[in-house]
Structure 1
Amino acid sequence: MAPATHYQYLVIGGGSGGVSSARRAASYGAKTLLIEGKYLGGTCVNVGCVPKKVMWNAGDMASKLQIAAKGYNFDLSSSMPIKFDWASFKVKRDAYVARLRQIYANNLEKEKVDYVEGWAELVDKHTVRVKLNAGGEAVYTADRILIATGGAPIMPTNIPGAELGVTSDGFFEIATYPKAIAVVGAGYIGVEISGLLNALGVESHLIIRGDTVLRKFDDMIQQEVTNAYVKHGVKVHKGSNVQKIEKAANGRLTVHYGNDKESTAIEVDHLIWALGRHPLSKDMNLTEVGIELDSRGKVVTDEYQNTSVPNIFSVGDMSEKVELTPVAVAAGRKLSDRLFNNKPKSKLSYENIPSVVFSHPEAGTIGLTEKQAREKFDKVKVYQSKFINMFYAPCEQEDKDYTVYKLIVEGDNERVVGLHLFGDASSEILQGFGVAVKMGATKADFDSCVAIHPTAAEEIVTLR
């Protein structure tokens, strides 16, 4: 049966934020339509968090196998050669992603959300025209409209041969085991991809403009991740920009990089641009219906996800200052709570949002950096511990990684305003401590929790 023409809620974008908001609205009885032109699940499920973490797990396993052989005296050569089969693993990874997409579709059906595959544009503040993937057009009207179309990777246009490289989306299309890859960018994506490639035995080059990676993070995390990557063999090219890329007859790429004074070239199988993302706000007639965009093309919203048009809202990478999947999910759900469940004050708090970089080892953060805390508060104290995780006890020194924990407190009662972790399992550890920071815990609250021994996380409740 064809979907109805008019809806109470029309959601443009089938990523995490859009799907979450649509399902929550439908659960309250709102007649809801979801429109997506590419694939359900958006960036996170298809070319982001999910397949990245699967690849990271493979890299982490490769590292652990090396430690098992050398440090823990497992004879891994006695039964069969241990090698990584990139091509067959890609098939497994892609099949897992496909299953997740189907789960998204099943959940929409379960919640009675109508779903249309196509590309939408606004006609007016209540009307949307859709160019259907199956051909033709359809027009829908709605009382309320949510824009959650997300973003796309940035591809440079001013570098000769830039088109020979691929974005992070293209990384997941690489079908055969590469020998060497260059990654450009010092943020989450560049760090994560270069790290997992290196762990899987690929010659990994990371080209960055500054001296450290993750420059928006606390100085400790910047320095520790950078040092660890250099130590483990990632070829970090600091203070450099890509100048041009050339393709040889054998298909390999020559990447010229450097600065104003010098230039160097490396030969790789692929080059991956990891330069951030831009919002997918073009070709939707947003400004034509009165929606305000900022200088980057993002939809301007207030704390309640309202745009400049009263019945149109936005969540996710299209509008958020914090471009994280759980932020989009939480914002989308709270918006539907407000619009359809009589909770007029429902909104997402953007304070103390935990975040993790799946580097090797991992890094996690919540709250303020030390620099931000000192700029904001008069009385700041920092507690820090640097140690070797017990996991590395039987290992040779060159195979050991440091774990570093940094706790930032302010005021006489030492309220925790920042927690920064570097080391194995930081993602799992941070989730629990994030609750404490969100609740306004003090250093005394941390100290009052009896340590679990022997663990790395016990250091966080025994800092002096």
Structure 2
Amino acid sequence: MAFDFDLLVIGGGSGGVRCARIAAGHGARVAVVEGRHWGGTCVNLGCVPKKMMVQAGEYGDWAEDARGFGWDIHRGAHDWAALIEAKNREIERLNGVYVRLLRNAGVSLFEGHAIFEDAHTVRIEPTGLAPNAPPRCLSAARIVIATGGTPVVQPHIEGHELGISSDQVFHLPQRPRRVTVVGGGYIGVEFAGIFAALGAEVRMIYRQALPLRGFDQDLREGLGEALHDRGIDIHPGRLLHSIRRHADGALALELTGGGGWTTDLVLFAVGRRPKTDGLRLDAAGVTQDEAGRIVVDEHGETAVPGLYAIGDVCNRDNLTPVAIAEGHALADRLFGPKGGERRWMLGSSIPKAVFFSPPLASVGLTEAEAARRGEADVFLARFTPMRHALSGRTRRTIMKLVVDRRTDVVLGAHMLGEEAPEILQGLAVAVAAGLTKAQLDRTVGIHPTSAEEFVTMRTPTRAATAD
């Protein structure tokens, strides 16, 4: 059978774009279908605009801190509308960059919503990105599903439709005065920090005793303190029961077990799910598990030969660099020279960061994970960064190494503190390479920096425990 393309990628986000570009570079005839915005979640509704908003809040902090260093600077009011306008200009520029990258690679672009007709054919229906485009069908020898994720809603909460998800935050015309964030994961923590740093009164509700389930316990405890220091009113171990709108537009919240308050905005940040609505995966024979994720093997292939899925739609390690690595490796394996394909690393060697102020970053095993595998030692440092000896701001840094006692291999590195993501990127190399604590000890530190603490911790603080 003659196909229109060798490869058709559904989804113009980071993973799909990388897969398409690399495949085209290997000589394949490639097309990408995107129905909402080029660049995907990360560029439009995730990491990129979110970090811009975190940085906006940091400028306010720096204005306050500067007085401790002799500067006569006074923090004024923040202009939310100006920030959103500047953010929109940059996102529009990045959208164009993605389109140019694909076109320069020789990839054919189609705007619309892809619907499977069978395992090798999709129908493209017009969407808001291209409302007047006529429907058409495309066929391909291989198809990659890279549609990403979408926010989870909580329909069991009475009045849940009165809240918003993170997708809507980036387009609010003005900053609410009072914000309630539901959820204590990445998204909830980051947006609670953003709103608080830009002047809102913020409350958080989350199910766990501490935020950021899955992170190392010391960092979770440190973040709980940092949330308090930021002025965020936290309500751990609680659930939202209902939302009602007052006549003046304010929202009345009731928590399970009693209690509540009035707020201006409810942000649901309780996770994301694979975005597969409307694809008609059943027509292609693609299966999903009970959580909605597309089931793939170690190479990203579904149970249907020639059909693949990468990135958040598989709901494994939902990080932009992982999707990019998966897309690159898949394109190499399908169209590159035999034996020359890249491979991506899954599991504990993948670094991650949470952009609160101060931020967190982590790579490798947590203390509890290491203890469950065998005997391990913990090296822990807590200190006030040099900057805040003069600024007067209450802010502590936590740095932690988890080391296998038998082999001396560094199993994990964790940090809460300023520049944590920048510092941990380097430690990620060490953890991925399997370096030992002795090799870190032989490394000369850069002084005076916080980063040098990772190569100067000599005495174990305690034995790792799984509790």
Could you list the per-position Cα deviations for residues 235-272 of structure 1 after superposition, in whole angstroms to 9, with x for gaps in the alignment?
11111111111112222212222x33xx2222222110
Counterpart for residue 225 of structure 1: 223
Could you list the per-position Cα deviations for residues 144-196 of structure 1 after superposition, in whole angstroms to 9, with x for gaps in the alignment?
11000111001111111110000000111111132111110010000000011
Counterpart for residue 409 of structure 2: 415
Contact kept, 8 Å, 1:287 with 1:293, in 2: the verdict is: no
Residue 393 of structure 1 aligns to a residue in which SS? helix
Is 1:450 the counterpart of 2:444? The answer is yes
Instruction: Give me the whole-angstrom Cα distance separating, in 1, the residues matched to 2:70 and 2:183.
Output: 38
Counterpart for residue 312 of structure 2: 317
Q: Which residue of 336, 350, 353 corresponds with 1:353?
A: 350
Could you list the per-position Cα deviations for residues 31-62 of structure 1 after superposition, in whole angstroms to 9, with x for gaps in the alignment?
10000111111111001001000000011111
Counterpart for residue 205 of structure 2: 207
Amino acid corresponding to residue 395 of structure 1 in structure 2: S
Contact kept, 8 Å, 2:148 with 2:274, in 1: the verdict is: yes
Is 1:255 the counterpart of 2:250? The answer is no
Counterpart for residue 432 of structure 1: 426
Counterpart for residue 269 of structure 1: 264
Amino acid corresponding to residue 201 of structure 1 in structure 2: G
Contact kept, 8 Å, 1:129 with 1:139, in 2: the verdict is: yes
Could you list the per-position Cα deviations for residues 58-103 of structure 1 after superposition, in whole angstroms to 9, with x for gaps in the alignment?
111111211112x2232124xxx72211111110011111110011
Instruction: Give me the whole-angstrom Cα distance separating, in 2, the residues matched to 1:156 and 1:272.
Output: 11
Counterpart for residue 276 of structure 2: 281
Counterpart for residue 463 of structure 2: none
Contact kept, 8 Å, 1:229 with 1:360, in 2: the verdict is: no
Contact kept, 8 Å, 1:180 with 1:268, in 2: the verdict is: yes
Instruction: Give me the whole-angstrom Cα distance separating, in 2, the residues matched to 1:256 and 1:44.
Output: 33
Amino acid corresponding to residue 144 of structure 1 in structure 2: R
Counterpart for residue 67 of structure 1: 65
CA apart distance, 1:234: 0.5
Is 1:383 the counterpart of 2:382? The answer is no
Matches within 5 A, 1:7-406: 7-69=5-67, 71-77=68-74, 82-133=76-127, 134-257=132-255, 259-260=256-257, 263-344=258-339, 346-351=342-347, 352-377=349-374, 379-396=375-392, 399-406=393-400
Contact kept, 8 Å, 1:150 with 1:280, in 2: the verdict is: yes
Contact kept, 8 Å, 1:179 with 1:203, in 2: the verdict is: yes
Instruction: Give me the whole-angstrom Cα distance separating, in 2, the residues matched to 1:107 and 1:136.
Output: 25
Contact kept, 8 Å, 2:208 with 2:236, in 1: the verdict is: yes
Amino acid corresponding to residue 243 of structure 1 in structure 2: H
Over 3 Å counting, the alpha-carbon distance change for 1:213 and 1:185 in structure 2 is same
CA apart distance, 1:302: 1.2
Residue 176 of structure 1 aligns to a residue in which SS? coil
Contact kept, 8 Å, 1:56 with 1:196, in 2: the verdict is: yes
Contact kept, 8 Å, 2:3 with 2:141, in 1: the verdict is: no
Contact kept, 8 Å, 2:64 with 2:73, in 1: the verdict is: no
CA apart distance, 1:382: 0.8
Instruction: Give me the whole-angstrom Cα distance separating, in 1, the residues matched to 2:247 and 2:176.
Output: 17
Contact kept, 8 Å, 1:5 with 1:139, in 2: the verdict is: no
Could you list the per-position Cα deviations for residues 109-143 of structure 1 after superposition, in whole angstroms to 9, with x for gaps in the alignment?
11111111111121111111111332431111111
Could you list the per-position Cα deviations for residues 272-317 of structure 1 after superposition, in whole angstroms to 9, with x for gaps in the alignment?
0001011112322213322221111111111111111110111010
Contact kept, 8 Å, 2:219 with 2:416, in 1: the verdict is: yes
Instruction: Give me the whole-angstrom Cα distance separating, in 2, the residues matched to 1:207 and 1:373.
Output: 30
Instruction: Give me the whole-angstrom Cα distance separating, in 2, the residues matched to 1:239 and 1:413.
Output: 39
What stretches of structure 2 of length at least 5 have no aligned partner? 459-467
- For normalisation by structure 2, the TM-score amounts to 0.94
Aligned residues: 451
CA apart distance, 1:418: 0.7
Instruction: Give me the whole-angstrom Cα distance separating, in 1, the residues matched to 2:268 and 2:166.
Output: 7
Could you list the per-position Cα deviations for residues 339-373 of structure 1 after superposition, in whole angstroms to 9, with x for gaps in the alignment?
11124564311130000000121100001111111
Amino acid corresponding to residue 252 of structure 1 in structure 2: A
Contact kept, 8 Å, 2:379 with 2:400, in 1: the verdict is: yes
Counterpart for residue 462 of structure 2: none
- Taking only aligned residues, the RMSD between alpha carbons, in angstroms, comes to 1.4
Residue 300 of structure 1 aligns to a residue in which SS? coil
Contact kept, 8 Å, 1:303 with 1:348, in 2: the verdict is: no
CA apart distance, 1:394: 1.3
Amino acid corresponding to residue 343 of structure 2 in structure 1: K
Residue 7 of structure 2 aligns to a residue in which SS? strand
Instruction: Give me the whole-angstrom Cα distance separating, in 1, the residues matched to 2:24 and 2:264.
Output: 47
Instruction: Give me the whole-angstrom Cα distance separating, in 2, the residues matched to 1:280 and 1:225.
Output: 30
Instruction: Give me the whole-angstrom Cα distance separating, in 1, the residues matched to 2:26 and 2:4.
Output: 17
Instruction: Give me the whole-angstrom Cα distance separating, in 1, the residues matched to 2:291 and 2:407.
Output: 41
Over 3 Å counting, the alpha-carbon distance change for 1:264 and 1:73 in structure 2 is farther
Counterpart for residue 465 of structure 2: none
Contact kept, 8 Å, 1:362 with 1:427, in 2: the verdict is: yes
Contact kept, 8 Å, 1:60 with 1:196, in 2: the verdict is: no
Contact kept, 8 Å, 1:369 with 1:418, in 2: the verdict is: yes
Instruction: Give me the whole-angstrom Cα distance separating, in 1, the residues matched to 2:262 and 2:90.
Output: 33
Amino acid corresponding to residue 287 of structure 2 in structure 1: E
Over 3 Å counting, the alpha-carbon distance change for 1:109 and 1:52 in structure 2 is same
- For normalisation by structure 1, the TM-score amounts to 0.95
